């Protein structure tokens, strides 16, 4: 059915037996201005042989398919490939997609080098009514690649095309009850305005009003007197946000985990949650190194065997 609400038009179709991995009823490649999605995390058992015709530049999976039995990178490419040259996407994703290694790391590297990743936001646990796990919000912007000129207003004068904004919002929340959290309008407005400052845009206090404005001025005011509603400008804030360069991201193994870049605010103790996240990251790196070592050991054994025969 077609839907029009407040000037927005939509074409809503019942999926029936349609599977988004294999079917493209909207012929979506390069078509949309905006994509908003909350896909299922860590889907397995995707028949990758059926994706062969959709792999490659200008297709639905331009960066290839992962060797692992996990569809996170398939979803991310579907959202990316659906955007037009100035399109933007925002979606929720499992934390593991930000740090996964091997073939998933290679796909993530290509996405980063395409200058499409704009903002990454770490979200704490209990923000969903059915899932307690923390997650990450991804924001893509294909038009970002056009912002390639050095920007004197950006930290280090680096162009926006060559940076990604990381926000750690795990400590920003409103407790609803023992098991559920959310963001207030003021908190959403504050986070959104961090992004606007990073992009060189004027703050918008429509959401959150004076409370959001006061918080932004408190943290980002460029005036010596932070009590005044003077000018605000973006800067890296330890424990909150960091505009990382592509060189810094490459040095971190093309990770898009905000915790690797934002750090901890001065005087702030590392929480149990942060410690667990850091430990999981180190353990994942160890597993990757062990896997690479086993593969190298097997290859050496095969080479030695071939020399001895």
Q: Rounded to an integer, what distance in angstroms lies between the CA atom of residue 280 and that of residue 265?
A: 21
Residue 229's pLDDT band, with cuts at 50, 70 and 90, is very low
| Model pLDDT, residue 309 | 76
Give CA torsion, residues 55, 61, 65, 66, to 10 deg: 170
| Model pLDDT, residue 228 | 44
CA 111 to each of CA 78, 82, 146, 166, 284: distance values in angstroms, whole numbers, following the listed order: 12, 14, 15, 16, 21
| 3-state secondary structure at position 145 | helix
Cα dihedral sign, 250-252-256-262:
negative
In the predicted structure, residue 84 carries a pLDDT above the cut 80: yes
> For residues 154 and 137, which has the higher predicted lDDT (pLDDT)?
137
| Model pLDDT, residue 305 | 82
> For residues 145 and 155, which has the higher predicted lDDT (pLDDT)?
145
| Model pLDDT, residue 164 | 97
Q: Rounded to an integer, what distance in angstroms lies between the CA atom of residue 114 and that of residue 26?
A: 24
Residue 162's pLDDT band, with cuts at 50, 70 and 90, is very high
Contact 39, 75 (CB under 8 A): yes
In the predicted structure, residue 96 carries a pLDDT above the cut 70: yes
Q: What is the 3-state secondary structure (H, E, C) of 21-75?
A: CCCCCCCCCCCEEEEEECCCCCCCCCCHHHHHHHECCCCCECCCCCCCCCCHHHH
Give me the residues paired with residue 163 across strands: 245
> For residues 307 and 52, which has the higher predicted lDDT (pLDDT)?
52
In the predicted structure, residue 98 carries a pLDDT above the cut 90: yes
Express each pLDDT in 40-73 by its tens digit. Answer: 999 999 999 999 999 999 999 999 999 999 999 9
Least confident interval from 28-37, 99-108, 229-238: 229-238
Express each pLDDT in 183-221 by its tens digit. Answer: 999 999 999 999 999 999 999 999 999 999 999 999 998
How far out from the chain centre does Cα 222 lie? Answer: 28
Strands 163-168 and 135-141 turn out to be: unpaired
How far out from the chain centre does Cα 172 lie? Answer: 17
Q: Rounded to an integer, what distance in angstroms lies between the CA atom of residue 304 and that of residue 176?
A: 63
| Model pLDDT, residue 154 | 61
Overall average pLDDT of the 134-140 stretch = 96
Residue 284's pLDDT band, with cuts at 50, 70 and 90, is low
| Model pLDDT, residue 251 | 95
Residue 152's pLDDT band, with cuts at 50, 70 and 90, is low
In the predicted structure, residue 3 carries a pLDDT above the cut 70: no
With tokens 């860590």, the residue in question is 42
11-38 per-residue burial string, b: 16 or more CB within 10 A, e: under 16: eeeeeeeeebbeebeeebbeebeebebe
Overall average pLDDT of the 266-293 stretch = 62
DSSP per residue, 239-278: TTEEEEEHHHHHHTTT---THHHH---TTPPPPHHHHHHH
In the predicted structure, residue 227 carries a pLDDT above the cut 50: no
Q: Rounded to an integer, what distance in angstroms lies between the CA atom of residue 59 and that of residue 290?
A: 34
């Amino acid at each position: 059915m077609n839907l029009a609400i407040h000037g927005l038009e939509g074409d809503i179709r019942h999926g029936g037996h349609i599977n988004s991995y294999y079917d493209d009823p909207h012929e979506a490649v390069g078509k949309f201005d905006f994509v908003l999605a909350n896909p299922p995390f860590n889907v397995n058992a995707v028949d990758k042989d059926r994706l062969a015709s959709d792999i490659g530049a200008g297709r639905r999976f331009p960066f290839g398919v992962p060797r692992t039995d996990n569809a996170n990178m398939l979803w991310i490419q579907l959202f990316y490939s659906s955007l037009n040259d100035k399109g933007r996407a925002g979606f929720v994703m499992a934390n593991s997609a930000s740090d996964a290694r091997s073939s998933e790391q290679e796909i993530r590297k290509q996405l980063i080098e395409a200058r499409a990743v704009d903002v990454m936001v770490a979200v704490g646990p209990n923000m969903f009514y059915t899932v307690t796990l923390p997650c990450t919000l991804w924001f893509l912007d294909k038009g970002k690649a056009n912002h390639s000129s050095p920007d004197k207003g950006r930290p280090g004068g680096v162009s926006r095309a060559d940076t990604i904004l990381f926000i750690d919002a795990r400590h920003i929340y409103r407790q609803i009850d023992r098991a559920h959290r959310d963001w207030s309008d003021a908190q959403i407005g504050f986070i959104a305005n961090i992004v606007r400052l990073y992009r060189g845009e004027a703050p918008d206090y429509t959401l959150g009003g004076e409370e959001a404005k006061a918080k932004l001025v408190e943290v980002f005011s460029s005036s010596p007197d932070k009590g005044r509603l003077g000018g605000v400008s973006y800067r890296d804030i330890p424990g909150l946000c960091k505009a990382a360069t592509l060189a810094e991201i490459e040095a971190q193994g093309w990770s898009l985990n905000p915790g690797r870049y934002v750090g901890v605010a001065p005087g702030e103790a590392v929480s149990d949650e942060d410690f667990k996240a850091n430990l999981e990251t180190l353990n994942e790196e160890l597993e990757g190194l062990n896997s690479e070592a086993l593969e190298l050991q097997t290859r050496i054994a095969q080479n030695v065997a071939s020399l001895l025969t």
